[in-house]
Structure 1
Amino acid sequence: MAEQSQKLVSTKSNKLVDAGFFKKLNGMEMRIVNLAISRLNPMRPLTQSRRFEFTVKEFLDCNSGVANYADIYDTVRNAVINLGRTWVEVETLEGYDKTEISLLTERSYSKGKGRFMVEFHEKAMPYLAEIKSNYTSILLDTFGALKSEYSLKLYEIFSRWVFKGRFEISVSELKDLLGATEKYNRWNNFNQWALKPAIKEINAKTNLNITVKTIRTGRTITDLEFTIFDKSKAVEIEKKSAKRPKFPHKNKYGNYVKLDPQNPKMSSHEYGLWARDCLKILEDHYTAMADVTLEDLRNYWVFLAGNDSNKSKLGKKADFLVELKKRGYKLVLCELVGIDPKQTDLVDVNHKVCNTAPLAATGGTASRPT
């Protein structure tokens, strides 16, 4: 794990995240905790200084999501006071049902200078220092740009599981982690007022793109499966794959090289020949699904859909749709369309998406690959 020197990064053990250390914390308290953690060096010994000082200005510099500056000193002070008397959950000791620790052992503040000091409890340090593996790191300015408390907590969770690309959890457990159990008893209310707005904000402001699939037990939605994609990696993929050889010019195949967007199998014979040769270029160029650009994910699907004899070593048609969904896209009439977070549950990778509603009715953004 390389040291971070340019931007403030909050790194913590996954054991702390998995235990839901943030359950009892509000948004302001989470911001302060992550700011303090960012000043620790996760690679250094447990004996490093546990004390951290910061000013209101330093706090606001990395928390653009704080919209109300009125009485900001009192707001931060109250959060620091609350942190000093809050116990957070950590991994449970063997033989017990729950284990909690105090994050802080000391707190100080100076109103005239707008300066604060917090000191981590020694019991918290094993989750914040000497971390060699199984950790989660988040950029503080990205985290701090979020406004909603639910967005902040979900971003912690999703950042924990982004390496895997998916995360499944029961609705009741997620409500507990977000501190929303009592406020939102009904799924519809929880989804409408907590979950969907938070995912929408995370997708708009952070490096992550989140989609969600509901899982029912009988008629009741009991579990959720999240797909998590790191958009910053998508940029790297696009750069890495930018030199893919060009497809042959369609004029070489005749005057009627035409795709049928409603049903690729009904495309012209000349288009089928062109698609076969283009698919070979893709197969020669790519060795892993993760390296395929958005444009070529679309191309792969169209070429495979046009003829059942066309095959790819990377996967089947549905596999390319799954990858598109992870990156926040779907296909409509064989065009790339950004997925509206409100319609995430409606995306079905098993459907023939080229036969769905016309592009003008989607409300998404489209791009025609060349």
Structure 2
Amino acid sequence: MATKEHKQQVSIANDLIKSAQGLNIGEKRLLMLAVSKLDSKIKPSIQGAAVSISVAEMVEMFGLNSDKAYQEAKKAAEGIMKRQIRIKPNNADSELIQWVGKSKYNKGEGWILVEFYYGLFPYLFELKSHFTSYRLSRASGLQSVYSWRLFELLMQFKKTGLLNILIDDFHHSLETPKTYHADFSLLKARVIEPAVKEIREKDGLAVEWEAIKAGRKVKALKFTFPTEQQLSLDTHPKALNSANTPRTEQGAKTKKGAKQEIEAFLSLSETKSRLQSAKELARLAKVPAETYLTEKDRASIAHYELTI
């Protein structure tokens, strides 16, 4: 893991989060470090999509063995040229997109040039909604690509602390072997439990999970974890009472309270998506939809006057 605090953010569209990314752990590290150097708010351009990464950066961020790092970097730089993403936008037919249009490893100077493929621009640039951001350092200690992919799926719902995912979608996103599709015990033992354990140990996120069954067959997975707000409350000391708090602090708290009130509800599109997911899981498991809704989900549903 990184030896000092890093603030690099990975920001990518949710369709890319849910996609089959086709990467091993070395390639994932290289590409996410490259993504963290992009400005996701600007208009895309070939120049803006080209990133230089030093092997020294990779060693520091991911705690790589310096003796092996150059060979690993070279292998990753060559590997990403062959990798494709399988995306299913809005449940439409899947499409394949290359990760990069160009990758160059400079052995003498110890750096890599990564130029993202132009077909990927909509998923990396001008991100205003339906995207996920997380601090790269939170995933930097993960040794399994399964753990990293699950972590990204969780981060998509970091404001609600609840991920409900159909088992077929889970297999798609994590690209599990076909043998695991037919044998849930293998999926549990070799993918889910090791990934959850590593996330808990390396990032400290208290993830819990359960299988949702229809009869004897697992149809979906439910993951719960502390929200960003809960984590913030746990890691920050309680404020002084108002009588002892300077007016400037009280003013700041008022603004913060207003912001929290605005953020009390999910967006309408997100609320509809959460409700649809809950209804689908409830239908499969033959239980009330409320079982799969968080308090914030229910508050948002009431706010938009939707029907459960």
TM-score (norm 1): 0.59
1:91 Cα deviation after fit: 4.2
| Aligned equivalent of 1:27 | 25
Q: How far, CA to CA, are the matches of 2:241 and 2:142 in structure 1?
A: 37
Same amino acid, percent of matched pairs:
25
* Structure 1 residues 183 and 49, CA gap change in structure 2 (3 angstroms): same
Provide the rounded CA distance (Å) in 1 between the counterparts of 2:238 and 2:133.
27
1:21-73 superposed Cα distances (whole Å, 9 cap, x missing partner): 42x11111111111111111111111352111111111121113x4x555322
| Corresponding position of 1:113 | 109
2:220 pairs with 1:223? yes
Of the three residues 207, 221, 237, the one matched with 1:210 is 207
More helix by share: 2
2:141 corresponds to: 145
Q: Please tell me whether residue 190 in structure 1 is matched to residue 190 in structure 2.
A: no
Q: 1:114 to 1:214 in 2, by over 3 A?
A: same
In structure 1, the partner of 2:58 is 59
Match of 1:42 among 21, 40, 50: 40
Q: Distance in 2 between matches of 1:29 and 1:58?
A: 15
Within a 5 Å distance, the mapping from 1:56-205 to structure 2 comes to 56-64=55-63, 66=64, 69-92=66-89, 97-182=93-178, 184=180, 185-205=182-202
| Paired residue secondary structure (1:105) | strand
Name the CA distance, whole Å, in 1 between partners of 2:153 and 2:127.
18
Three-state SS of the structure 1 residue aligned to 2:176 is coil
Q: Secondary structure at the match of 2:125?
A: coil
DSSP 3-state at the match of 1:197: helix
Q: RCO greater where, 1 or 2, for CA within 8 Å and sep 6 or more? A: 2
Q: Give the secondary-structure state (helix, strand or coil) at the position aligned to 2:213.
A: strand
Structure 2 unaligned regions, length at least 5: 1-5, 243-259, 265-290, 296-308
Q: Deviations over 1:166-215 (max 9, x none)?
A: 11123333123212233534211221222111111112222632111221
1:89 maps to amino acid: R
Q: Encode CA deviations 1:191-249: one digit per residue, 9 max, x unaligned.
A: 1222111111112222632111221121222321111324674243564755589xxxx
Supply the distance in 2 between the matched residues of 1:175 and 1:206 (Cα, whole angstroms): 23
Task: Name 1:236's counterpart in structure 2.
Answer: 233
Confirm or deny: 8 A CA contact 2:160 2:227 kept in the other structure. no
Contact kept, 8 Å, 2:20 with 2:175, in 1: the verdict is no
Aligned twin of 2:9 = 9
Q: 1:121 to 1:82 in 2, by over 3 A?
A: same
Q: Is the 8 A contact 1:207 1:231 kept in 2?
A: no
Name the SS for the 1:83 alignment partner: helix
After superposition, the CA RMSD in angstroms is 3.1
TM-superposed CA distance for 1:88, in Å, is 0.8
Q: 2:49 is aligned with what amino acid?
A: R
Q: Does structure 2 retain, via aligned residues, the 8 Å contact 1:208–1:231?
A: no
Residues 102 and 244 (structure 1), Cα distance of their counterparts in 2 relative to 1, 3 Å cut: same
Q: Which runs of 5+ in 1 are unaligned?
A: 1-5, 246-286, 292-318, 324-370
Q: Cα distance 1:93–1:194, how it changes in 2: closer, same or farther (>3 A)?
A: closer
> CA, structure 1 residues 44+99, in 2 after alignment: closer, same or farther (shift >3 Å)?
same
Contact (CA 8 Å) 1:161, 1:228: kept in 2 or not? Answer: no
Going from structure 1 to structure 2, the CA distance change for 1:238 and 1:28 (only over 3 Å counts) comes to closer
Secondary structure of the residue aligned to 1:12 is: strand
Q: Secondary structure, in 3 states, of the residue corresponding to 1:45?
A: coil
Within 5 A, what are the aligned runs for 1:267-278? none
Measured in 2, the distance between the counterparts of 1:150 and 1:183 equals 16
